[in-house]
A and B are shown apart, each in its own frame.
Chain A
Amino acid sequence: MSGLSMATKTEKEVTKKVGRPRATVETVRVSPRLPAAVVERMQLAAELRGVNSSAFMLEAIETLSKKVIEEEKVWKLRETQAKEMTSLLAKPPKPTKFAEEAAKLAAEHVEIRS
């Protein structure tokens, strides 16, 4: 399982090949090497969903991509997490000895340049 090849086609090229305008956005062909069992499972899932493999992969990739990007920009707290954060903010823990020693070490040995 390795390697990922990509080929880009412009709208014009796609249109020329198929004879009619099918794509309104730039498309990219991605050819990842995947374990056969994963492909088989994906094809079965796509059939159960009633879509082809490309449409199934597109939906899965879009869903996961949005989730990963959002998690890195916005942290939506659930109720229990919000309560834990509230209590932490109300009573911030004192710096640990480990943190103080690390800060001292960094102050001595690391020059931070902007």
Chain B
Amino acid sequence: MSRYVLEKLSKEHDRKSFVSGLESVDRYLKETARGHTEKGVSITRVLTPLEASPPKSILGFVTLSQISVEARAWDGTNGLPNSPVPAVLLGRMGVAESEQGKGLSRMLVASACQLAFDAINACGGIGMVVDAANEDLIGFYEKFGFVQVEGLRLFLPAESLKVKTRIE
């Protein structure tokens, strides 16, 4: 039985009270996320309690957008198309300090993977890219199978997003 709702960020949500402990993450949610969601630059979805009413408290959030992956034709890179190909970017994620340690991060990433899989299944794409907020979080994403490719950036092929327990 569902306990939480993951829905698009709107004016119904209480952004001001959200504190994750990471200033850049909090600032993005408070100052940028709603504008970007309204303009379609990216989509931020927030996790709220199932029965919440406005102003709904935000327990966590994920921000997804499209990214183009570009590669020149080098030897040994025949598997990549010559033209830019789309992927889904999990650019930002945060969990409220008061809710940390309850497994919400895991559920948020799993939900983001589900959304990415659906988007790729409908429109195409080679996989999911993640920008970890800091080095400490790289190991967390690696547990999901993401592979570190550059700095704080990780990748998981679309095929690997098919998780039986969630995706039919």
Residues of chain A whose beta carbon lies under 8 Å from any beta carbon of chain B = 72-79, 81-90, 92-96, 98-114
Nearest CB on A from B25, distance (A): 15
Interfacial chain A residues near B147, Cβ < 8 Å:
84, 88, 93
Nearest CB on A from B96, distance (A): 15
Instruction: Give the total number of A-B pairs whose CB atoms are below 8 A apart.
Output: 159
Residues of chain B whose beta carbon lies under 8 Å from any beta carbon of chain A = 1-8, 45, 47, 50, 65-72, 74, 76-80, 84, 87, 89, 91, 103, 106-111, 113-115, 126-127, 129, 143-145, 147, 149-150, 153, 155-167
Interfacial chain A residues near B157, Cβ < 8 Å:
88-89, 92-93
- The reply to whether B79 and A86 form a contact with Cβ atoms under 8 Å apart is yes
- The reply to whether B145 and A73 form a contact with Cβ atoms under 8 Å apart is no
- The reply to whether B160 and A95 form a contact with Cβ atoms under 8 Å apart is yes
Partner of B6, one of A98, A100, A111: A111
A103 to B8, CA, bound (A): 20
- Considering only CB atoms, which chain A residue lies closest to B3 in the complex? A109
- The reply to whether B159 and A85 form a contact with Cβ atoms under 8 Å apart is no
Given contacts A76-B70, A77-B70, A79-B74, contact A89 B107 (CB under 8 A): no
